[in-house]
Amino acid sequence: MRALATCLAISLATPIWAGPLDGKSYIIELSSSQYDSGYGNYLLPPLAAEMAKSGMRAKNGPGADIVANIQTDSDVGRWVGSGANKVWIYTISVTVGLSPESYVIPFEGTPVFGVKAVLETPNPDREDELECLIRLAARTALKAYKPTGILKTDGSSCLRK
């Protein structure tokens, strides 16, 4: 009877929908080049906002369970279409990573687990598209978290016309 009461108390204290990241602590890590260049001023706010809504606890310093990082990429573009419909299109991507604190994120920023949101756009410098991609990649990473791997998601919903 006591064992049944203990099991019932534990099951009531843990929501059925609790995910593997619920209650864990996190810290956001920017690379020195992201920080020094000022690029972090664009990267950090949308990532921090999504992390704050995650059910995880922000930790200011070492000892966090999870390190969140962000990497961006863009190609040099290419012509798409023909005639009057010909337009120069860039492929931009944002990868939001979630790694255990014990993992040393390499120079190129590859996380243990992450989500890469990809968008084709005529303007690779749109701040609104960048913010949307960061939020999309972060939300998807937090919902789809698993111990390893990089998932890819379509960022076309972030395209602004």
Query: Which CATH number applies to 20-158: 3.40.50, 1.10.3470, 3.30.160, 1.20.120?
Result: 3.30.160
Which tens digit of pLDDT belongs to each residue from 75-109?
999 999 999 999 999 999 999 999 999 999 998 89
Domain spans of the chain, in order of start: 20-158
Give the phi and the psi of residue 128 in degrees, each rounded to 5: -65, -40
| pTM assigned to the model | 0.85
How much is the pLDDT for 123?
92
User: Which backbone phi and psi does 106 adopt, to 5 degrees?
Assistant: -70, 170
Q: Regarding predicted confidence, which is higher, 19 or 11?
A: 19
Residue range 29-71, pLDDT digits in tens:
999 999 899 999 999 999 999 999 999 999 988 899 999 999 9
Given this model, what pLDDT does residue 18 score? 59
pLDDT band, very low/low/confident/very high, at 9 (cuts 50, 70, 90): very low
For residue 61, what pLDDT is reported?
Answer: 80
DSSP letters spanning the chain: -HHHHHHHHHHHHS-TT--TTTT-EEEEE--HHHHHHSTHHHHHHHHHHHHHTTT-EE-SSS--SEEEEEEEEE---EEES-GGG-EEEEEEEEEEEEEETTS---TT---SEEEEEEEEES-TT-HHHHHHHHHHHHHHHHHH--SSEEEEEE-GGG---
Question: Residue 6: what residue type?
Answer: T
Q: What is the pLDDT of residues 109-160, one digit of tens each?
A: 999 999 999 999 999 899 999 999 999 999 999 999 999 999 999 999 999 8
